[in-house]
Structure 1
Amino acid sequence: MPRYEFRCRACDDTFEISRPMAESADPASCPRGHDDTVRLLSTVAVGTTASPPSGGGCCGGGCCG
């Protein structure tokens, strides 16, 4: 289930809520009971295990001397 990050405008607390995507736009109350919250845009870091191309330095090895 996706996690959504919110920030409370009243106490400036940041918190996360797990909920279905169909409920992603629903309002959320902060853990301290305030209702004035905004959903934050989160960035997702995706790592890869791709190795750099082989064959030499810049431009495939032909431009460096």
Structure 2
Amino acid sequence: MPRYEYRCRSCGATFEHTRPMSEANLPATCPQGHDDTVKLLSTISVGGRATSASGSAGGGCCGGACGCGG
């Protein structure tokens, strides 16, 4: 289940709330009981390694197509 981050406009607290995506836009009450909250945009990081369609690893400035050895 996704975790969403919110900030309370009343007290400035930042908090997280785990809820289904179908409820992502519903209001959230801060831990201090205030209702004036806003959902923050979160960034995610996905790890992995990209390869070209042929399966060979390119690299450098142009993906290895220019012969620069990069």
- Shorter-normalised TM range: 0.7 to 0.9
Give the fraction of aligned pairs with identical amino acids, expressed as a percent: 63
**After superposition, what is the alpha-carbon deviation per residue over 1:15-50, rounded to whole angstroms, capped at 9, x for unaligned?**
000000110000000000000000000000111245
Misfit runs of 4+, over 2 Å? 49-54, 57-64
2:17 matches 1:28: no
Secondary structure, aligned partner of 1:45: coil
Structure 2 runs not aligned, ≥5 long = 52-56
> Paired residue for 1:8?
8
Q: TM-score, normalised by structure 2?
A: 0.71
Q: Structure 1 or 2: larger helix share?
A: 1
Larger displacement relative to structure 2 (30-39 or 45-54) = 45-54
1:46 partner letter: V
RMSD of the alignment, in Å?
2.3
Q: 1:19 to 1:47 in 2, by over 3 A?
A: same
Structure 1 runs not aligned, ≥5 long = none
Q: TM-score, normalised by structure 1?
A: 0.76
